[in-house]
Chain A
């Protein structure tokens, strides 16, 4: 087990090293400010500057000096002369709050409903869950987001003759508010979480139902039932954890699509998270912001995959690694 974890960790680190090298090379060549038009430099000045800044060294050395700075937390400054690291840190924190809440909500709702609909296969509940899953996975998140914005900010206030929106449609908190107000934050969190959880809940329902159907057929469940175990205990204690294993794998596999959805939803709600940060930086072509963002995002995704892999092995006693 430990060996397996260490091996996976090593592979992940190597992968991260490789990916960061590739992104570094790509972006250094994309964004050479000395070659940019309007830099006002003649060729002599440019090559002189290149020498002074160390840009004439081999790409490997440049990568290592950039990498060592990066590891020490020096992530450079953007084209607008703001340090990049604090901005990305804040964005990451905001994204984690949003993603964590959505994941929590949808895990609780989705896996419960998925389990129930597996237990009562072909019941009315099951059909309802199947339909909801289908709709949840088919409706584009950004469209749902816009509809919710339209409804809660315009239609509903108009009906109820309210002055302002029922739920705020954009942002992290009410502008101008000082300090941290949990209720205000939750209020702002409501719509983005609702949209994100629609998709996540549907995914959880589908995967949990499918794997629970399989688990409930297993011999050990029949044995446990024959022993007279309380159905609820059987379901929650014996069946549920095992049903979750494939769900974890599936979610880890879909991480790319999930992250993509995240970017769009953050953008619609102007949630100041990683997605919005990336879109804004890309729109400005602020490569010094894009590069560290990519490395952080890659590290995050690789870490999540590693985590899923370890959890997978830890949960499933049938898998034994030497």
Chain B
């Protein structure tokens, strides 16, 4: 993930818990999961606080683990089967799950299990590449808009609105029809249509940070604008950035698979979850497994990513946390923490 340089002062950021945080837990911290005593909390760094808050979100931790396992499975499992993703097994077409083919075979006798994980490699890497690049692009644009404000801000944000209003699929479809660009084309077009949420988030944070004293101090010390933006302010925005990028992964997977599903984008010899689904679509009367499995893979991955994103938001993004409990409910609902599912 985009583990951008950590600032020593580390005012409000934090790394992605699944990558950086386990290391940071090794520091001294009071035991007990629900330690509410302020004296204990005050000794923790923001990163530790975030990790602690994330860890309490059991579903999010579970989805992080599941996602890592899924990724590992996509990397490792294709090496372990003796089928290839396009190899045919004559006489064993339309087979249900069994010992020969764990998840059955499709119309041509191709092994669903093998194809599923091969496709996962492509689908996940496309989504990850597009999301990380879009996150970086969005961060830069949002930082510029939020830092400079005024006309630059207006122009950049109107552009973002414009991109949001364009049905991304239409552009993806046209681009992949006209250029036959394959993988790279899909990734680039995805980037073009994924940067906006991150840009909006970063802009929001930068607008509020712009007037803070530490920015003024940095300027007084003679720091250049770029330095202030990317080494002073950005670490404070990393939390929201990580959250928005995580949530984008789901969108990227959906967009890519929708495109492949329609028969455009990444083409059949290269398997992706979307084109496996499309492939199996017209034969699901005979064999449902080759269709259900990639669909499930997409659905589960998106669900896990969204759960992870929600957990990360609670941990890393204090701006979106709703603290005030509503007093309106007649039944008088009391609750302990300020954590709400948005």
Contact = CB atoms under 8 A, between A and B. Distances in A.
Given A221-B328, A294-B170, A301-B165, A150 B284 contact: yes
Interface stretch (A62-70, A90-98, A118-126, A312-320): A118-126
Contact of B170 (A119, A206, A263): A263
A130 to B, nearest CB: 5
Contacts of A279: 173, 262
Contact of B169 (A122, A263, A301): A263
Contacts of B288: 150, 154
B168 A256 contact: yes
B165 A217 contact: no
A1 interface: no
B342 to A, nearest CB: 7
Contact of A122 (B250, B284, B333): B333
A135 B303 contact: yes
A257 interface: yes
A267 B335 contact: no
Q: Which of B161, B295, B298 has the largest number of chain A CB atoms within 10 A?
A: B295
Q: Would you call the interface of chain B mostly helix, strand, loop, or mixed?
A: helix
Main SS class of interface, A: helix
Contact of A146 (B277, B322, B329, B335): B277
Contact of B177 (A123, A260, A282, A305): A282
B217 interface: no
Size class of the contact patch on chain A? 35 or more
A255 B285 CA distance: 35
Interface string A97-139: 0000000000000000000001111110000001000110111
Contacts of B306: 134, 137-138
B333 A123 contact: yes
Given A122-B335, A150-B284, A278-B173, A257 B302 contact: no
Nearest to B254: A140
Contacts, number: 135
B328 A217 contact: yes
Interface in B241-261: 250, 254-255, 257-258, 261
A253 B161 contact: yes
A297 B164 contact: no
Interface in B267-281: 277, 281
B167 A256 contact: yes
Interface in A220-235: 221, 231
B267 to A, nearest CB: 13
Given A260-B258, A282-B177, A139 B169 contact: no
B299 A138 contact: yes
A205 B35 CA distance: 34
Contacts of B23: none
A119 B328 contact: yes
Contacts of A254: 164
Interface in B312-338: 322, 324-331, 333, 335
Contacts of A123: 329, 331, 333
Interface of B: 161, 163-170, 173-174, 177-178, 193, 250, 254-255, 257-258, 261-264, 277, 281, 284-285, 288, 291-292, 295-296, 298-299, 302-303, 306-307, 310, 322, 324-331, 333, 335, 340-342
Interface of A: 30, 118-123, 130, 134-135, 137-140, 142-143, 146-147, 149-150, 154, 206, 210, 213, 216-217, 221, 231, 253-257, 259-260, 263-264, 267, 278-279, 282-283, 285, 290, 294, 297, 301-302, 305
17 contacts: A120-B333, A138-B303, A140-B298, A146-B284, A253-B161, A256-B164, A256-B167, A256-B168, A257-B167, A257-B168, A263-B169, A267-B262, A278-B173, A279-B262, A282-B173, A282-B177, A305-B165
